[in-house]
Structure 1
C-alpha cells in the first residue's frame, strides 16, 4: 500500500513538473504572438498577395491571370528604363558625394579639439528630423527660377540664372543637392559611431612612427570604417533607388521625364491608373534590381572586411 502511494506521488510530481515546463516554454511565445500575428497580416500576406497580383491583369475590381505578361511589358517599356537610368545617374553622383561628406564631417566631429560637440552633432542631424514634404517645398522656394534666393545670389555674382526646373541636367542636380542635404547628417552619425569604436592607440602609434594626419586618415580611419561605409552605402543605394518625394514635389518627374524614378513609375500605374497587377510586377523588378546591386556591393567590398 505504501509502495503504491509512493509511486503515485512520484507520478504526480512528474506531471506537475511537465505542466510547469510546458507553461514556461509556451509563455515567451504567447507574449511574442501579437508581433507575429501583426507581422503575418501586414508584412507576409501583402508580399504573397502582391506576388500573385504581378501575374494578373488586375485593374480595379477586374482580374485575370496573364503569367509573365506584366514583366515583359515593363522590361520593354522605354519609360521604365528612362526612370531607371535617371535614378542611376543620381545614385552614382549622390551616394559617393554623401559618403565622402559624411566621413569628413564624422572625422571633424570626432576631433578632440572640437568644442560643443553635442551642439554640432545636433545641427548636422537636424535635416533628418525635418519632414520630407516640408523640406521639399522649402527647396522649391529657394531654387525658384525667377524668385528664388539661389538664382538671386548667382545674379549678385554676375552668373546667369540656372533653370533648376526646366533644364534636364540642372533638375537632376537639384535632386542631388536636396537628397544630399537631408541624408548626409544621418550617415555622419552612423560613421561617427564607428569612429568612436576605433582604438586611440592606433593613432598614437602612428604619430610615434611619424605618420601625418593625411596618412592616418587613409591608412587607419578609412580601413577601420570600411564595414560602416559598406552599410551606409547599401542603405543609401536602396534609398536612392526608392526616391519618390523629392522628384515628385520638386520637379514632378520633369522636365520630359528627366527626373522620373522607378517608384514614381510604379505610383503612376498603381495609384493613378489603378493597374495593381502591373504595379506589383514593377515593384518586384525594382526589388530584384536592389538585391543585385546590394549583392555586388558586398562582393566588391569583400563584405566590408578590414
Structure 2
C-alpha cells in the first residue's frame, strides 16, 4: 500500500512539474490572445466614437447594423468571390505542379521548385505594388496586348470592377500557389511507392493511379491546404489595400479592408469594427468546421 501511495505521489509530482513548465506559455497565450479576444467581444457591444464608448441599447445593435450596412455586405460578397474562384484554382494548380515536380526523372528539380516557391518569399506589400505597376494603364500588360494588336486602347485594369477583381485573383494565384505546392510535394513524397506499383500491376493507367491511389492518400494534406487557404482569403487585406484601395466604388474591398477603414480612417468606430472582426472570426470557424466534417472521414 505504501509503495502505491509513494508511486502515486511521484506521478503527481511529475504532473505538477509539467504544469509548471506549461504555465508561462499558457499565461502568455491567455494574455496575448484570449484576453484581447474577450475584450474585443465586449467592445463589439459598445457604440461611440474614439474613446467615448458606452454599451449599446440593445447590446447586439452593432451586429444588427451589419445586416443593414450595404458596404459591409458588398465587401463580404467580394471576399467570397475571391474565395470561390481563387482557392479551387490555386489548389488544383498547386497539386498539378507538385505531381510534375515529384517526377524522379525531371531534371533541375531543385531549380523549378525554388522558382515556383520564390513568390512566397516576396513581401505582401512589394508584390502588390509590382502587380499594380504591371496592371497600370501604361504597364506591361497593356503594352503587350497593344503590341500584339489584341486591343486598340489601353485597358484601365484597376479602375473597372471585373478587371480589378481579376488582377487581385491573379496576384493571389501567383503569390500562394507555390506555398501550397510545397505541402502537396511533401505529401507526395510520403506516399508508399508500393501502392503505386500495385496499381500499375493491376493495369491502372496514369490517371486512374493518380485519382484512385494518390489523391486518397493526399486527403489530409488537401484538407489542410483548403482550410489554410480559406482562412487566409477570408482575412484578405494587403491586395485590396495596395492594389486597388478597395475601388472602384468598394467593388474590390474585402471585409478586413473595411474593418481597417472603420477602425482607423475617417471617424474611428472601434465598437462597430470589433463586431466586424467577430463576424469574420465566425465565418472562418464555420467554414473550417464544415471543411473538417466534409473532408475528414476518419472514424
TM superposition shift of 1:134: 0.8
SS of equivalent to 2:159: coil
Structure 1 stretches of 5 or more lacking a match?
1-10
Q: Is structure 2 residue 140 aligned with structure 1 residue 145?
A: no
Change beyond 3 A, Cα 1:213–1:33 = same
Aligned ranges 1:250-289 → 2 under 5 Å: 250-272=243-265, 273-289=267-283
Structure 1 residue 250, shift from structure 2 partner: 0.3
Distance verdict in 2 for CA 1:194–1:19, change over 3 Å: closer
Aligned to 2:145: 154
CA distance in 2, matches of 1:304, 1:259: 36
Q: Could you tell me the TM-score, scaled by structure 1's length?
A: 0.89
| 1:93 paired residue number | 85
Residues 99 and 187 in structure 1, CA contact (< 8 A), matched pair in contact too: yes
Equivalent residue for 1:3? none
| Number of the residue aligned with 2:53 | 63
Question: Is contact 1:226-1:305 (8 Å) kept?
Answer: no
- Once the two structures are superposed, residues 253-306 of structure 1 have per-residue CA deviations (whole angstroms, 9 ceiling, x without a partner) of 0111110111111111112232111011111111112222222223333x2559
**Whole-angstrom CA distance in 1 between matches of 2:216 and 2:7:** 55
Q: Please name the residue that 1:241 is paired with.
A: 234
Contact 1:127 1:183 in 2 (8 A): yes
**Over alpha carbons, which structure has the higher Rg?**
1
Gaps of 5+ in 2: none
1:177-256 map, 5 Å: 177-256=170-249
Count of paired positions: 293
Normalising to structure 2: TM-score of the pair? Answer: 0.91
2:119 aligns with: 127
Q: Which string of whole-angstrom CA distances, capped at 9 and with x for unpartnered residues, describes residues 40-87 of structure 1?
A: 111111001001011111432211111001001111111111001111
Aligned: 1:295 with 2:289: yes
- The secondary structure found in structure 2 opposite 1:64 is strand
- Are 1:128 and 1:182, in contact at CA under 8 Å, matched by a contact in 2? yes
Distance 1:174 1:253 in 2: 12
Worse-matched range after superposition: 155-164 or 259-268: 155-164
User: In the TM superposition, what is the alpha-carbon distance from 1:227 to its structure 2 partner?
Assistant: 2.1
Is 1:75 the equivalent of 2:67?
yes
How far does residue 19 in structure 1 lie from its aligned partner after superposition?
Answer: 9.3
Shift of 1:203: 1.6
Alpha-carbon deviation of 1:22? Answer: 7.0
Q: RMSD across aligned C-alpha pairs, in angstroms?
A: 2.4
